[in-house]
Structure 1
Amino acid sequence: MTLINFLLILLNTIMLVSGQFLWKTGLQNNESSFSSIRAFMQLMLSPYFLSGLILYGLATVLWLFILSRVSLSLAYPIQSLAYIMAVFGAYWIFNEPLSMPKVVGCLLILAGVVFIGWRG
């Protein structure tokens, strides 16, 4: 796999995680978003939700391009780096706890990605 393909997968992963962070931020700003249909619709039309949705849409188009160039059995495991980005991003952005089991789990995911991507 070429460096450009790896960077495209990394960009795709960052876009997906960023979309999740936008949705989480939108939900934190509107805690009653599931209390009624009106509140839910307000959430769906909020800038955070819409921005996350746009990012997911663009990431999907990018993913289709990636799949035209890289085998799924290689690209998809690399995309699992999203789990690591989410754990540490949630710690830094949302002040969620970062425990030793989470760190060890992230290291295991990273080791798996390295093993799968080692020879492509």
Structure 2
Amino acid sequence: MRKFYLIGFALLLFFDTIGQTSFKLTANHSEPLEANIDWLIRIFTNPFVYIAIFAYISTFFTWMVLLKKAPVGPAFAASHLEIVTVMFVSIWVFNEEITLMRSIGAALIVLGIIFLALAEKEINQRQEISK
């Protein structure tokens, strides 16, 4: 079961990170923002919009499979690790900076997920003991 979670959440993070990054690349390519046909053409002629759509569909199906088995609380929290992965990918792809506040925020997200996972493990152990 642990292998299932590791692979599932790795796929979820991968697809979600690719989706977010591809939407940003599409937005950059489609500038300036205008409500006209030229703007739509710029969007739909960019291959990254199709990568983003594929990634979000894949994220949805991966999430649905994970929710069949994973406890909702920790699973929902772990799904937000994409905030951290997108931040790191943005450094490489968009030359964004990691500031002190972003680093602290990322660390708090990771710590929160670790604490939720430990709490879930403790709850499961108590339930096994009481059986």
| Inter-partner Cα distance in structure 2 for 1:60 and 1:44 | 22
Identity of aligned residues (%): 18
1:45 shift after superposition: 4.8
- Residue of structure 2 equivalent to 1:10: 10
- Compare the two structures and name the one with the higher helix fraction: 2
| Inter-partner Cα distance in structure 2 for 1:57 and 1:5 | 19
Q: Which amino acid aligns with 2:101?
A: P
- Residue of structure 2 equivalent to 1:105: 105
| TM-score, scaled relative to structure 1 | 0.89
Q: Is the 8 A contact 1:15 1:59 kept in 2?
A: yes
- Residue of structure 2 equivalent to 1:72: 72
Structure 2: unaligned runs, 5 residues or longer: 121-131
- Residue of structure 1 equivalent to 2:35: 36
Structure 1: unaligned runs, 5 residues or longer: none
| Residues 13/71 of structure 1: CA separation in 2 closer, same or farther (3 Å cut) | same
| Inter-partner Cα distance in structure 1 for 2:35 and 2:111 | 44
Runs of 4+ off more than 6 Å: none
The structure whose Rg is larger is 2
| Inter-partner Cα distance in structure 1 for 2:67 and 2:39 | 34
Q: Is the 8 A contact 1:10 1:79 kept in 2?
A: no
| TM-score, scaled relative to structure 2 | 0.82
Number of residue equivalences:
119
Q: Is the 8 A contact 1:81 1:109 kept in 2?
A: yes
Q: Is the 8 A contact 1:13 1:82 kept in 2?
A: yes
